[in-house]
Structure 1
């Protein structure tokens, strides 16, 4: 059970559920206390030691059911095989006496199956006189277990062969055939192949029987590898897929992956929020507030038990986000807004603006509507052909006077202005008034300034410009933004 626990923890980690060495020791101690007889008690005890949130608890229960149900199935087949031998003699006599009526047909079918395996064994034993490979098979454990349908013996043998073959490392569906062949070779299926060749040369009537049991073995091994693939590879494949999506251009992500990417954005936002959350500390340095300290000591006959320090009042920072929602960059704007509004516990007061040919504030949409619905309405209201000059003129009327030295402005767009007036003077005014201006461009740096791109001119009025076309780059930029706003 200790080895099973370690395998189970590996699967939890592959499903993005962090388990530390200390938590592993706690889980082992919990297993020793509650025992293994009651499945629900074991499930709840491990959940208390390994799951630390509702999301992790959901992942834990899913992995527990997948892993321990299979372990229980293997254990039950071994138990059935062990008890069936002890009850064969008495069971056959009692069944013969009990089923004399209408159920006799079903009992006869069971006896026919038992007789079938017995006749197959006799047929193969007779053919073994002319086949040394077949005789070797009959003297071993594999073929007798197939003839007697000893599921526990076969399951144990497959598990051991799977461990020797490193089946727990299976990650891709294309590896299933490779591991199936390794396990079959470890079980001794090559002896069955040799015996089939010998029986073919001898033109033996037992060849069809041996082929049938060979096919049964192959099918059982394929099913075993399939179960292990589903259990071991799912978490790794999910992590692999997320890594690919984080490096894929947001405009190229297919609609069927949109939900997965949105969940990935939320997870990134939680990670950044945890990293940059405010840590409150009492002020123990600076200038002593003498008046407040003396007044506090009056209740103690002037003894200054508690000192008070002057704290500098800091003006609250604000963030203004301007997002181009025209057709070419709408996808990027959607994910940036999703990122920013998933960080409301960490970010300062945020005002959002959407633009294409004209600009408008959409902060109220995020207050009144769910996040996805607000982004959809913003795209619908302000989408269209791009005119940065007109949009900047609208912005100067709406919010230019609100910008001060505590304001950070983040602009997302490709700076392609369709040969219009770029209104560079307004951008320079934003630059002079604000704490920082950050421009995120979905295009690579090589495309800046080509065609109708005004990016090189706008770059002169920005504190920081960077290409931002995928989630990985977006997370890096937002991380730097949060550091600067501390």
Structure 2
């Protein structure tokens, strides 16, 4: 049963139910306590041990029901008028030595199910990883059960006089057995390979260009939004822990002496100096012109999904003029809010200088030494004054200035781009046109606030 439990843990991990080695040990102890006789008790005990959130409970239930499903096989049954005769009648002598043939002809569903489980273990069906492996795994499973032997017996029976009926019944049983093997492999695929396929798809989407010509397909758009939320949750889980860092090697003498007073002044407990790490305060300024709107949508989705670890988020958007979009984002889901922003100020002639002027006149007080300012834009200002003086002012006031540009660096000094000039007033300026790059940059921002 230990091997089965380990396979069950792998299936849970494939379904995004995190099972650590310590939790696996706890699960084994739980099973040893409650046993296997009561299915509901067994399921509830494992769920209480392994599922940590409401979403994980739902996924746990699905995996448990699929993993421990034991559907009865329905092989070919002897004909109703067979009477009390031997169902093996009509088959060649070598059929008597084939246990699989006897189970098929007698309709032994329980025996066939057990034989399929044993053959699946030998064929390593649980190692399936890709959808394209299903046919090969089904064939391998049948071969381990003795498919070649069954086919030889059918062929020999058809050569016998009067063996056609028995051969037909064995052939029908073989077809049903093949169908059951296919269903079994599909169930194993759902348990172990669906997660691999999803992860492969997510890896591809994480590398998909956000500013791709022709835009993003609606199906990919929905999947990428879900991926953004998953990335944000991963970062939130990582950086939402306690924000006090022990400075080992720097003893807090005052606190240590106070703690030692009940022990007659003996310092049994050493207390270390700590420093308080604040949550990030972020000001996000996004170009929502046509060429950058998709990247802006995903950046804002990412930041708004980090509400657990971001102390304050001020969001602004511009193309010709700059406006605050906090109210729109608060009232609407970020997916829909971007379209409202575009209707309000989008599709105007981009003017970075005028947008910086609007920001400094109306919102500069939101920037201080605790604030990270994130710009998202291609730096193309249509040959208007880029107002480097205002960019220098923001640089002086902010904790850090990060510029994310969807275009490659080789474009930063071409045409109407002034990105190479803005870059001087940025602590970090990077190309960012995929979700993977966006995740790494946002993590770098969080890492500057939260120590390791």
Q: What TM-score do you get using the length of structure 1 for normalisation?
A: 0.77
Contact residue 329 and residue 414 of structure 1 kept, 8 A: yes
In structure 1, the residue corresponding to 2:313 is in which secondary structure?
Answer: strand
Equivalent of residue 108 in structure 2, options 130, 137, 150:
150
Question: What does residue 11 of structure 1 align with?
Answer: 11
In structure 2, the residue corresponding to 1:220 is in which secondary structure?
Answer: helix
CA deviation after TM superposition for structure 1 residue 12, in Å: 0.7
CA deviation after TM superposition for structure 1 residue 59, in Å: 1.7
Which structure: larger Rg?
Answer: 1
Question: Structure 1 pair 202/61, CA: closer, same or farther in 2 (3 Å)?
Answer: closer
CA deviation after TM superposition for structure 1 residue 321, in Å: 0.7
In structure 2, the residue corresponding to 1:405 is in which secondary structure?
Answer: coil
CA deviation after TM superposition for structure 1 residue 323, in Å: 0.7
Answer yes or no: is 1:232 the counterpart of 2:192: yes
Structure (1 or 2) with the greater helix fraction: 1
CA distance in 2, matches of 1:183, 1:313: 59
Contact residue 117 and residue 148 of structure 1 kept, 8 A: no
Question: Structure 1 pair 398/19, CA: closer, same or farther in 2 (3 Å)?
Answer: same
Answer yes or no: is 1:255 the counterpart of 2:218: yes
CA distance in 1, matches of 2:173, 2:49: 45
Contact residue 119 and residue 144 of structure 2 kept, 8 A: yes
Answer yes or no: is 1:141 the counterpart of 2:99: yes
Question: What does residue 272 of structure 1 align with?
Answer: 235
Answer yes or no: is 1:177 the counterpart of 2:141: no
Listed one character per residue, the Cα deviations across residues 191-242 of structure 1 (whole Å, up to 9, x for unaligned) are 2333455567779862545543332332222222222222222222222222
Answer yes or no: is 1:322 the counterpart of 2:289: no
Matches within 5 A, 1:157-176: 157-176=115-134
Question: What does residue 409 of structure 1 align with?
Answer: 373
CA deviation after TM superposition for structure 1 residue 438, in Å: 0.6
Contact residue 288 and residue 346 of structure 2 kept, 8 A: yes
Equivalent of residue 430 in structure 2, options 466, 482, 486:
466
Equivalent of residue 377 in structure 1, options 340, 344, 367:
340
CA deviation after TM superposition for structure 1 residue 440, in Å: 0.4
Contact residue 246 and residue 274 of structure 2 kept, 8 A: no
Question: Structure 1 pair 382/212, CA: closer, same or farther in 2 (3 Å)?
Answer: same
Listed one character per residue, the Cα deviations across residues 75-119 of structure 1 (whole Å, up to 9, x for unaligned) are xx79xx9xxxxxxxxxxxxxxxxxxxxxxxxxxxx9953629968
Question: What does residue 242 of structure 1 align with?
Answer: 202
Q: What TM-score do you get using the length of structure 2 for normalisation?
A: 0.83
Structure 1: segments with no counterpart, 5+ residues: 82-109, 129-134, 290-295, 297-302, 304-309
Question: Structure 1 pair 456/144, CA: closer, same or farther in 2 (3 Å)?
Answer: same
Higher mean C-alpha displacement, 160-169 vs 255-264: 255-264
CA distance in 2, matches of 1:313, 1:321: 24
Answer yes or no: is 1:194 the counterpart of 2:161: no
Question: Structure 1 pair 275/184, CA: closer, same or farther in 2 (3 Å)?
Answer: closer
Counting matched residue pairs gives 430
Question: Structure 1 pair 137/390, CA: closer, same or farther in 2 (3 Å)?
Answer: farther
Say which structure, 1 or 2, has more relative contact order (CA 8 Å, 6+ apart). 2
Contact residue 316 and residue 326 of structure 2 kept, 8 A: yes
Contact residue 280 and residue 370 of structure 2 kept, 8 A: yes
Structure 2: segments with no counterpart, 5+ residues: 259-264, 266-272
Higher mean C-alpha displacement, 456-465 vs 314-323: 314-323
Equivalent of residue 400 in structure 1, options 349, 356, 364:
364
